[in-house]
Structure 1
Amino acid sequence: MFKKLIVLSVVAATVMLTGCSSVPVPLESKEIESITKTFPNPPSGKAGLYVYRGSNLIGRANTQLKVVLDGDSIGRTSENTYFYKVISPGQHKLDTQTTIGPSVPLVFNAEAGHNYFVKQDPNVSSYVIYGGTSITMVDEAEGEKGVLECEQAK
């Protein structure tokens, strides 16, 4: 019985670590990417939202993670990608969905004139605890650094 449990655990860990391979997300033009990577102020009366995903053990499987803002899909990320979205001020609910299920949602209040940075972290503990990935609001310095290491997805 104990041997079966060990074998099952190894198989489950392998599946979680390899993920479901998929085609990388389409990328934005380098011209648009060069503008968003200067981190301009959002348009008047609006806020900016950067969602980025670096590289890690799970990310190397190149799985796409669907990003949902206030119930609407706003894009997908894969390893080392980000996207930028202009949003209205006010309370928002951000979620990431994987083949396993949604993450724990991130609820935040956006103020006009500010950029917000959210890091997706698809890691083993997130797969076990959160159903696939964790999403975290990070400060401007960490967010800009993370975005600069990524390519912009459409």
Structure 2
Amino acid sequence: MLTRLKMLAVATGFAVMTGCASVPMESAEADAALKTFAAPPADQAGLYIYRDSFAGKGLKKSVTVDGKVIGETANKVYFHKLITPGSHQIGTESEFSDNVIDLMAVAGKNYYVRQSIKVGVFVGGAKLEVVPEAEGQADLQKCTLATSL
């Protein structure tokens, strides 16, 4: 009996870590327009936040910019936001507390932040990292634009 319970627990955990979560999506036209990676207006910076990790496909994770939720990520989705130049905090919900990174934005430049899911004790955690422009643009080709709040 104990072996069956262990197998059920492992199967459930695997399903949660690899299943697919869905979030509200924007139009294909809006997605295509943002994938041209045009320079933002001269007085703003562009921020792309995306998730392309294999692990945790069944999990949704909230993403914040300066403490305000912009949406929930699922695998292979991204958000785009125009931000003012200067210091910003990008955050994501994780297992025990939010993970936050600081970003110093320069006007007229795009920034690319990858959210990845990591193994946790009870549920997968999440981390953020700023990635180089070429890497972010290549990764975003495999993602679709999610609706921001």
**What's the TM-score once normalised by structure 2's chain length?**
0.82
Corresponding position of 2:42: 44
How far did 1:19 drift? 4.8
Query: What amino acid maps onto 1:32 in structure 2?
Result: A
Q: 2:131 aligns with which of 131, 134, 138?
A: 138
Q: In structure 2, what is the Cα distance between the partners aligned to 1:135 and 1:17?
A: 24
Give me the CA root mean square deviation: 2.6
SS of corresponding position for 2:125: coil
Aligned residues: 141
- Report 1:12-23 matches (<5 A): 15=13, 18-19=16-17
CA distance, structure 1, for counterparts of residue 72 and residue 89 of structure 2: 16
Question: CA 1:137–1:64 in structure 2 vs 1: closer, same or farther (change >3 Å)?
Answer: same
2: CA distance between counterparts of 1:69 and 1:104? 12
Counterpart pick for 2:146 among 132, 149, 153: 153
Identity of aligned residues (%): 36
C-alpha change, 1:15 and 1:145, in structure 2 (3 Å) is same
Measured after TM superposition, the shift of residue 11 of structure 1 is: 4.6
How far residue 18 of structure 1 moved from its aligned partner, in angstroms, is 1.8
1:107 aligns with 2:102: yes
Counterparts in 2 of 1:24 and 1:144: CA distance versus 1, 3 Å: same
- Gap change, CA 1:13 and 1:105, over 3 Å in 2: farther
Distance 1:22 1:54 in 2: 12
The Cα shift of 1:16 comes to 7.6
- Alignment check: 8 A CA contact 2:48 2:79 kept: yes
The residue number in structure 2 matching 1:29 is 27
Instruction: Give the letter aligned to residue 127 of structure 2.
Output: S
TM-score for the superposition, normalised by structure 1:
0.80
Please, which runs of 5 or more residues in structure 1 have no aligned partner? Answer: none
Q: Which one has a larger percent helix, Structure 1 or Structure 2?
A: 1
SS at match of 1:43: coil
Deviation of the 1:23 alpha carbon = 5.2
Per-residue deviation, 1:77: 1.1
Q: How big is each residue's C-alpha offset from its partner over 1:117-138, in whole Å with a ceiling of 9 and x where there is no partner? A: 00010121xx35xx71110000
* Runs of 5+ consecutive residues of structure 2 not aligned to the other structure: none
**Aligned residue number for residue 68 of structure 1:** 64
Pick aligned residue for 1:54 from 52, 58, 69: 52
- Paired residue secondary structure (1:40): coil
